[in-house]
Amino acid sequence: MAQSTMVENPLLVGLPEEKRPEPFALVIFGAHGDLTKRKLLPALYALYVQDLLPESFAILGTSRTQMSDDQFRDAMRESVSKYSEDIELEKASWDSFAKSLFYRAGDSTDLDAYKLLSKTLDELKSSRGTMGNHIFYLSTSPSLYVPIITRLAESGLAFKRKINEPAWPRVVVEKPFGHNLSSSIELDSILHDALREHQIYRIDHYLGKETVQNIMCFRFANSIFEPIWTREFVDHIQITGAETIGVEERGPYYEEAGASRDMIQNHLMQLVALVAMEPPISLDPESTRDERVKVLKAIRPFDPDTIDDFAVRGQYGEGFVLGNRVKRYRDEDRVSPESNTDTFAALKLFIDNWRWAGVPFYLRSGKRLAKRVTEIAIQFRKPPQKLFEEMGGAALRLAKSENPNVLVMRIQPDDGISLRFATKQPGPTTQIRALTMDFRYGTAFGSRTPSAYERLILDSLIGDPSLFARSDFVEASWRLIDPLLEHWSKTMPGKSSRHGTQLNHRPFPNYESGSWGPAESHELLALCGHEWREL
């Protein structure tokens, strides 16, 4: 195998030999699609050049497109060259890697296609030494998940293993895991008809991001932070997932999903769970996933009569993003000119348990916002300011209102952690000034940060489900979000039906591209005396 030219490989640190991947054959459904080209093959190649794949493996792509093995290899080489951000494609390494790439065209709804796949996998077992260890990656439209799982079971390629047996075969499922609660439960039932839970890997790429993985370590490995990670010291928590891009070529998908399904129900709920969870009894996969599920089950359900006091939606109009004029959502390709799909969603949540009682969690996510940033901000309570009253004027106002201690975990871009605190400004008088201590992964460790898909693909090959969504987590998340989606489906934008404090809900579009979302999202926080962070 070609050796990496890198001095240090972060994924190898702490990885015992028995946790290295066994020989395998990875079947990618939708191998001609965008996800495979942009993420999966670049990640697999990166794992290969870092010596993280076994000597014996095979990658078998399949889709409707007719291609030979060599044509598939050429297409994937082009994709890896184009989309690998920090792993250089070298001819010798690629030529060696490409020997493990194969392709079979077929209709994923046709049982005959699975007979061809089964025959090919048998051949690869002999020629490539894959030992019959099969992992099936569903990189397709969600509408094909059920047909693929059903055909895998009918063809004998997917079958149940006992809990204490190795989890081969495995299936990796991309989000969304259903469109609502009922469809999620239906998909889950079909998956469990074919496989056991320990053979199912529901992938949420946010869990593979380095800063997200660091949340548990930051909290539970530092005695200075965990004691104050409670309602006694935390005023509120803000979680932001902001994008400057629009829907690009994903109009039909986004019309069905919206920001609430695309981001809130999965990515941001995972972040809430990691920030709010109790310490697990151990680092084994099920203990950590148990604690994440407990958080979701403790979130206060939405009350239909007051739901608009806790949730705001928006849709972008025309505006300027990064200096360029952009069109409104309703003018995007393959989007209805009368669409009421949300491109922005903001929620106010309360976790009704001992640790977080009374602490609001604010979530927001949107397209065409002012800046691309994903972060978690823990704002601590302000100290009594009696001591500084003698300063008076602007200095006192600064001490009182502009200097809360804020701990920020930046997930993207510029992954890192910062802490803001107050200090005395040098001089003959007492003047308070806010300063920030800042840590960034890139500069602190001096090594590349593995992509989320590198980590998650490696974990799926090893058989470690820690960073994947478990069945009960997905269901708990949908149970929380489903009433909101149902309410929004019955209430047109601009026509709120609630009886609580009235916000000025406006028809779509209700925020300019390049802004920070609709005014109602700011009013949502103002009801509790808070405001969104300036990013």
Which long-range contacts does 214-222 make (Cβ < 8 Å, 24+ apart)? Answer: 214/409, 214/417, 215/271, 215/274, 215/275, 215/376, 215/409, 216/274, 216/277, 216/288, 218/409, 218/417, 219/279, 220/279
Please calculate the CA angle 451-457-460 and round it to the nearest 5 degrees. 145
Q: What is the DSSP letter of 36?
A: I
SS3 290: helix
Taking the C-alpha atoms of residue 94 and residue 92, their distance in angstroms, rounded to an integer, is 6
Instruction: Output phi, psi for 446, to 5 deg.
Output: 65, 20
Which residue among 179, 267, 499, 505 is the active-site one? 267
- Report the greatest alpha carbon distance in the chain: 84
Measured from the Cβ of residue 17, the count of other Cβ atoms closer than 10 Å reads 5
Which letter does DSSP use for residue 299 in this model?
Answer: B
C-alpha separations of 373 from 123, 154, 210, 368 in Å: 46, 44, 15, 12
Residue pair 477/188 in contact (Cβ under 8 Å)? The answer is no
CB-CB contact of 363 with 239 (8 Å): yes
Sign of CA pseudo-dihedral 440, 246, 480, 493: positive
Report d(CA 326, CA 317) in Å as an integer: 9
**Nearest Cα to 516, choosing from 241, 260, 237, 235?**
241
d(CA 8, CA 141): 37
Beta-strand pair 170-174/134-138? parallel
Side-chain-facing half-sphere of 521: CA atoms under 13 Å: 22
In sequence order, which residues have a C-beta less than 8 Å from that of residue 271 and are 6 or more positions away?
Answer: 206, 212, 215, 239, 376, 411
Residue 297, classified by CB atoms within 10 Å of its CB into exposed (0-12), middle (13-18) or buried (19+), is middle
Task: Residue 415: name the closest of 378, 370, 452 by CA.
Answer: 452
Q: Compute the distance between CA of residue 231 and CA of residue 221 in angstroms, rounded to an integer.
A: 20
Question: 192 an active-site residue?
Answer: no
| 285-298 helix and 471-490 helix, angle to the nearest 10 degrees | 30
List C-alpha distances in Å: 335 to 19, 175, 462, 474: 46, 21, 41, 28
Active site residues: 267
